[in-house]
């Protein structure tokens, strides 16, 4: 097996594990204070999306797609590993379209990372933000489609967009920088 394929498979497994653990790991900010003890601010989000971003930036688009597709398959057919559970019924929930956004996000940021010679924190942060925006765009498209298909009422659409995009997106964008830092470090270990 060529080394590149081995790295893709290893990255896929690592990505799946990171995404699964990331959904259960809350994100917080450490803010320095004048006292010796830093203040911890809960961001009310998890490491799920940063885990996907790390996998895609470090191991590439194929590993990101395999990890996110595996995560979705396990959550829909086998184990309740999503934030609100899992099973086939989860396909009809408003937040499933956001999970579907993992696939195009992983592909695009992984592909850009693979084809670019830039591998620094600032560049990876911009790719991480792009990945988050793709997830939310896919989620909003899914919400609109769900309203058209009468899965929820059209007049609920703004509330759903507010709940799943407007409220969490800024907290998730804050997590882009830590994901980029980790990605830069891991890229230098696994890829170089």
C-alpha to C-alpha distance for 192 and 187, rounded to whole angstroms? 7
Asked if 22 contacts 83 with a C-beta cutoff of 8 angstroms, the reply is: no
pLDDT digits (tens, 9 = 90+) for 57-116: 999 999 999 999 999 999 898 788 777 777 788 888 899 999 999 999 999 999 999 999
Which own/partner contact pairs does 155-161 have at CB distance under 8 Å and 24+ positions apart?
160/94
Burial of 114 (0-12, 13-18, 19+ CB in 10 A): middle
3: confidence class by pLDDT, cuts 50, 70, 90: confident
Q: Which helix (H) or strand (E) holds 44?
A: strand 39-46
More confident site: 36 or 134: 134
pLDDT at 1: 60
Looking at residue 38, the DSSP 8-state letter turns out to be P
% the chain with pLDDT above 90: 66
Rounded mean pLDDT, 42-65: 95
Closest CA to 161 of 180, 141, 182, 181: 141
* 53 pLDDT higher than 70: yes
pLDDT digits (tens, 9 = 90+) for 99-123: 999 999 999 999 999 999 888 999 9
The angle at the Cα of 81, spanning 84 to 134, to the nearest 5 degrees, equals 75
Q: Domains in the chain, please, with CATH? A: 3-190 (1.10.1760.20)
């Amino acid at each position: 097996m060529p080394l590149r394929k081995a790295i893709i498979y290893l990255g896929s497994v690592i990505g799946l594990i990171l995404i699964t653990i990331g959904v259960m790991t809350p994100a917080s900010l450490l803010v320095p204070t004048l006292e010796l003890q830093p203040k911890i601010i809960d961001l009310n989000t998890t490491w799920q999306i940063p885990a996907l971003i790390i996998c895609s930036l470090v191991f590439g688009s194929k590993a990101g797609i395999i990890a996110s597709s595996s995560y979705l398959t396990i959550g829909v057919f086998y184990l309740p590993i999503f934030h609100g559970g899992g099973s086939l019924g989860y396909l009809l929930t408003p937040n499933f379209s956001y999970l579907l956004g993992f696939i195009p996000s992983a592909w695009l940021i992984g592909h850009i990372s693979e084809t670019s010679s830039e591998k620094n924190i600032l560049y990876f942060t911009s790719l991480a933000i792009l990945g988050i925006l793709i997830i939310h765009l896919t989620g909003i498209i899914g919400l609109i489609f769900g309203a058209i298909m009468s899965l929820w009422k059209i007049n609920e659409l703004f509330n759903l967009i507010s709940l799943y995009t407007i409220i969490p997106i800024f907290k998730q964008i804050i997590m882009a920088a830590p994901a980029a830092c980790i990605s830069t470090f891991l890229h230098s270990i696994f890829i170089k």
